[in-house]
Structure 1
Amino acid sequence: MKRPLVSLAILYALGIFFFRKITVPISTLYVLSVTLLMLCLLSTKKQRIFNIFLSFFIFFLGAVALKNTQVLSHSHVSQFVRSKDNPYIIKGWIANQPFSDNHKTSFVLRTEVIKSGEHSYSCEGNILVQLKGRKDLFYGEELILRGQLYRPFGGFSASGRSYRDYLYDRDVRLMMKVKTEADLIRLHKTRGFMPRRFALWLKGRMEKVLFRHTSSLTQGVLGAVILGDKKRVPRFFHNSMMKSGTLHILVVSGLHVGIVGFMILFILKLLGLTRRSRSFIAILSLVIYCFMTGVSTPVVRATIMAIILLLGSILKREPDICNSLALAFLFILLINPRQLFDVGFQLSFACVISLIYFYPKMRMLLRIQQIRFACLRFLLDGVFVSLSCWLATMWFIARYFRMFSPVTVLANLIIVPLAVLMTLCGFSLIVIGGFFASLAPILANTCDFLVATLVRVNTFLVNLPLAFFYLG
């Protein structure tokens, strides 16, 4: 097979998809998978038969992976919760970066011990914790909490997905409300993955530089675009970007990872480092940036593809973009098969697949390379990239958000270059402002101007006739 990873990725995803609603004992799937694996080993000399058995094995492997996430162990924290009215005491450590505002602090707690009444039990699993007021907590910190445990609420949206489904996809089965300061005990111990702790510490330092001189609007937008913190984005701006079909600008994705990689490689080249050294440092930096921005699906996809590209540069081999994308696809689904049903996962991969398939065909159809004027070629390339992404994502946006935005192609042509300038300026503020405080206000004012321009342009576009309309 020319692109074996593509075939494996499709078969694995089909197994996850088809067995999502089908009730089959996981033991049956294990037996089928082991049997097919044995048949593969016995038929290695017969290529066609081997390929058939291997295809069925990968298909059922996807089903096993999905069913395995649906089976909870006897020590899972949700198995010990009998009533939402009784208070429980939980010991564990913070598994993500806490988010705080003036009203509450929320984070995911990786549980270790649960106590109900006089009985204590070792446990596992994640819970979403909500505390009243702002608390200065950090990733990896060990805590003892007292509060009520309850299951996330259901209630289906237009897409048929609920908030409970959203949390289940992230391995969170319970929520906990902690009402008073006395119900929170900090153990002053640190757990977690050390590279992620370092990345989040670095993120905190970058936030201080970024937020010191900028307006609240710029803080929200740049916090989302550069650091992956979307909770500070004003609701009006979020809705406006959704209407224009440019909400992807506020999500750290391939565009932002590409900018970070380019800046790192450019700086390292100015310092005179060899290509091999530049590539290794860039790979390490991109992994840290992935942890810094929350390890979301678009970032993981873009980081894996960038790492493959950089490794190809080191090994002096040209990587195949389809196999690279398939490897990222498989990596994410092996860790969490339920991501296949996440809208962010679907939009991210649909956009890249569409670019790979439609964009070259559009260029060949209109023979772009034969156009003499460079400016016209550049403009048409931008149109084709925007159109390719729109063709792939409009179906998902119509389904999940009940919206259709014809203005998206035009909006991307204008807003994406603005977003690139804004992102570059934001990173410049962080890097230069961190060392030369006197230059920070100049760069901050430039960031404020670019964000304000972005808001005005997007508002103008969504107010055009037939720019967008709701479905149903």
Structure 2
Amino acid sequence: MYLKMFHRLLPVGRRFLRRLGGIFKYIFDYKIILFSLLYIIINICVIFLLRNIFRTSSIGWLFPIAFLILFVLVHFFQKKQQGKFLEHEKRGKGRREGVVKFFVLLKCILLASLCSLCRNLPIISNEAMLFKNRESFTQSSTSIKVYISEETEERHSNILLTVRLLEDLEMDGKILPKSSTKLLLKLPNFYSFGIGQVCQVEGYLTLPENFDDFNYERYLANKKIFFLMDNPKIFCKKLSEERKGNFLRNFLVDFKMKMVGYVDEVLNEPQSSLLVGILFGQKRLFSTVFDDATRLSGVSHIISASGYNVTILTIAINKLLFFLPKRAKVIVGLIVIWLYCILSGLSTSIVRATIMGSVSMVAMLLGRNTSIHLSIPFVSFLFVLLNPTAVTDVGFLLSVSALLGLVYLLPILTSFREKIFKKAVFLDEYVLPTLSCTLATLPVLILTFKTFTIWSVLVNAIILPIVESTMLFGFLAILFYILFKPFSYILFSVINVQLKCFEMIVMFVKNLGFGQFEIESKYVIPFALLLILCFVVVTIYFYPLENEKYNYYLKDT
């Protein structure tokens, strides 16, 4: 029996290994993919190592110089080995290619390590300096001039305000440079602030404390926040008197807040907060019961305008503009998602997701199958290069995983569908794209919310078609509210019904009382990694290839 099972599994193993070898061959052919992937992986390791090393000592630029010397030595050694191969042509071609690939890989690893060290060393050294001296700035009350750099985050008990320093802080003979840190202010929730508003704050600086197996200190450090102020005295100037920050972003956030006001005038809660959350990423308060319902249903990411929402909008545009030629559809889609990005106030997560969405659309416009496979790792590399801690940002991970789902999981699901149904327009347009995005983002959601629900895929598949039309109707309703109010009320009525359905679905799932599992912190990472491994194996084995028998990368592998 075991022998028969072995013989049945043998072709499966051969197919998988052949495809896996083809992937490595493809990556080595396109050095931009190899370097991008290596940099992202090595960057995580470098940040971890530097943070641990700086706790005990200061290495300065010793590591980058050592890696540069090592890179030069490897380069000269490679040239020497290539010269030997030219002198002895009788040596096997396979061995020569193997040695060349080894040196290429080694040089890419060294170069990626060198780039990552040079990029992260100033950041981690500044972080280490602050960790070393931060106790000096928490001994007595201080008064400092700041400006509000991010939108207010509402909580049930208070509001959180991220501010930047407008002056250096000196205390006990030590100086805290204004560019070295941001502050997080905790204030009563009856205050109202505007982005860019200049304020004078007085109070005690405190240090973040970790809680419930969550490294809150590291989470804030990744956002360049090293100090808190709890209920400080705050005196703010009017926005008309003085305003700091980026002029364009301030203007766009003001415009967004006007549109949020239009929604609040027409819709009641929680529908108004749901709509502005889906459209603009506005962080609004919901009841504890409804918060739990969205989390247990696996749809929390939908009401925060993450990168996932840009993917939803991209899918919706493709469906809505089905009658247009491919090129025109892509161009209109690019315009729409960038308008959405601008209207959302150019928030970091939306900008990042819009760029990722634009990459996939441009690849479609170029009409080359290889374009998307090259652009995803390269653009991800650029994001990590610009922001080394991007890999810890949920918005970035959702953007990348949703795009990967559309590119790699969707063709597999479509090929399975074709074996069962010849034509299934509803499945192709609504269910399968939604399902591919939901499955691909599942590991990220588990890592973030530490919850696994068996209803997640089903609920997302039901709700996302509603969300697609809600986003389109929402923008149209706001536009007509400005141009012709009576018609906007009709659109808002449709939106209200849709969001009522949203609310009913998530509350129904919550009231079922089963199918949701809280995952202990120690099992979250292994479980998420297991899911990722399953998706990778399935993608490698089942991803449909044209003329696989004659595929260049699958020959002799």
TM-score by length of 1: 0.81
2:194 is aligned with 1:146: no
Cα deviation code 1:331-386 (max 9, x no counterpart): 32123222323444434433432443333223324535x833434xx326755445
SS of aligned partner of 1:285: helix
AA in 1 matched with 2:107: F
1:123 paired residue number: 178
For residue 374 of structure 1, what is the aligned residue in structure 2?
A: 424
Output one character per residue of 1:302-348: Cα deviation in whole Å (capped at 9) or x when no partner: 31133335656887877722333223322321232223234444344
Deviates further, 107-116 or 240-249: 107-116
Residues 218 and 78 of structure 1, relative CA distance in 2, 3 Å threshold: farther
Instruction: Give, in whole Å, the separation in 2 of the partners of 1:469 and 1:258.
Output: 27
User: Equivalent residues in 2 for 1:245-260 (5 A)?
Assistant: 245-254=298-307, 256-257=309-310
Residue 137 of structure 1: CA displacement?
Answer: 2.6
Separation (CA, whole Å) in 2 of partners of 1:196 and 1:220: 22
| Residues 275, 399 of structure 1: alpha-carbon distance in 2 compared, 3 angstrom cutoff | closer
**Gapped runs of 5+ residues in structure 2?**
1-27, 54-58, 83-99, 521-557
Aligned residue number for residue 320 of structure 1: 371
Contact 2:256-2:344 at 8 Å conserved across structures: no
Q: Is the 8 A contact 1:213 1:440 kept in 2?
A: no
Q: Deviations over 1:45-97 (max 9, x none)?
A: 87754553133211343355344432217996994662535111112322112
Give yes or no for contact 1:100–1:135 (8 Å, CA) kept in 2. no
1:166 Cα deviation from its structure 2 partner: 1.9
Q: Provide the rounded CA distance (Å) in 1 between the counterparts of 2:247 and 2:367.
A: 32
SS in 2 for 1:231: coil
Q: Is the Cα contact below 8 Å between 1:143 and 1:186 reproduced in 2?
A: no
1:173 CA displacement = 0.7
Q: Secondary structure at the match of 1:446?
A: helix
CA distance in 2, matches of 1:77, 1:137: 30
Counterpart selection for 1:35 from 69, 75, 93: 69
Aligned-CA RMSD value? 3.9
Is the 2:185–2:230 Cα contact (8 Å) retained in structure 1? yes
In structure 1, the residue matched to 2:126 is 72
| Alignment-mate amino acid for residue 61 of structure 2 | S
Q: Secondary structure at the match of 1:337?
A: coil
The 5-angstrom pairing of residues 444-459 of structure 1 reads: 444-459=492-507
Aligned to 1:215: 268
C-alpha contact 1:107 1:128 (8 A) present in aligned 2: yes
| Equivalence for 1:359 | 410
CA contact (8 A) 1:145 1:178 kept: no
CA 1:192–1:417: 2 relative to 1, 3 Å: same
Please give the alpha-carbon distance, in whole angstroms, between the structure 1 residues aligned to 2:410 and 2:330: 31
- Call closer, same or farther: CA 1:55–1:193 in 2, change over 3 Å: same
- In the alignment, residue 391 of structure 2 is paired with which amino acid? L
CA contact 2:202–2:233 (8 Å) conserved in 1: no
- 2-side partners of 1:277 and 1:414: how far apart? 29
Q: Secondary structure at the match of 2:284?
A: helix
- Judging changes above 3 Å, is the alpha-carbon distance between structure 1 residues 434 and 455 closer, same or farther for their aligned structure 2 residues? same
- SS of the aligned residue for 1:127 comes to strand
Aligned to 1:113: 167
State how far apart, in whole Å, the 2-side matches of 1:316 and 1:171 are. Answer: 41
Report the Cα distance in structure 2 between the residues aligned to 1:51 and 1:72, rounded to whole angstroms: 32
Q: Distance in 1 between matches of 2:363 and 2:405?
A: 23
Other structure's SS at 2:151 match: coil
User: Which is worse superposed, 276-285 or 199-208?
Assistant: 276-285
Residues 127, 78 of structure 1: CA spacing in aligned structure 2 closer, same or farther, 3 A cutoff?
farther
The match for 2:8 is none
Q: Indicate if the aligned counterparts of 2:394 and 2:444 stay in contact, CA closer than 8 A.
A: yes
Contact 1:95 1:110 survives alignment (8 Å): yes
Give, in angstroms, the shift of residue 177 of structure 1: 3.1
SS in 1 for 2:383: helix
**In structure 2, do the counterparts of structure 1 residues 415 and 282 end up closer, same or farther at CA, with 3 Å as the change threshold?**
closer
- Paired residue secondary structure (1:92): strand
Number of the residue aligned with 2:385: 334
Q: Which has the larger radius of gyration?
A: 2
The question of 1:16 aligning with 2:31 is answered no
**Gap runs ≥5 in structure 1:** none
Contact 2:155 2:285 in 1 (8 A): no
Tell me the CA shift for residue 415 of structure 1: 0.9
1:401-440 → structure 2 map (5 Å cutoff): 401-440=449-488
CA distance in 2, matches of 1:102, 1:460: 24
Distance 1:456 1:279, change over 3 A: closer
Match of 2:126, SS state, is coil
* Structure 1 contact 93–110 (Cα < 8 Å) conserved: yes
Q: Which amino acid aligns with 1:69?
A: I
Q: In the alignment, what sits opposite 1:231? A: 284
The letter of the residue matching 1:18 is C
1:278, distance to aligned residue in structure 2 (A): 5.9
Percent of residue pairs identical: 20
1:7 to partner: Cα distance? 2.3
Say which is worse superposed, 455-464 or 393-402, in terms of deviation.
Answer: 393-402
The one of 182, 191, 205 equivalent to 2:244 is 191
Structure with the larger helix share: 2
The aligned amino acid for 1:340 is V
State whether residues 425 and 443 of structure 1, in contact with CA within 8 Å, keep that contact through their aligned partners in structure 2: yes
| Distance across 2 between alignment mates of 1:21 and 1:77 | 15
Match of 1:6 in 2: 33
Q: 1:57 maps to which residue?
A: 111
In 2, distance between residues paired with 1:36 and 1:290?
Answer: 47
Following the alignment from structure 2 to structure 1, what is the Cα–Cα distance between the partners of residues 319 and 119? 38
Q: Which amino acid aligns with 2:267?
A: T
Give, as a single letter, the amino acid of the residue that structure 1 aligns with 2:46: F
CA-CA distance at 1:212 after TM superposition = 1.0
C-alpha distance 142-435 of structure 1, shift in aligned 2 (>3 A): same
Total equivalences in the alignment: 458
- Deviation per residue, 1:87-123 (Å, 9 max, x gap): 1111232211234689754321111324567989553
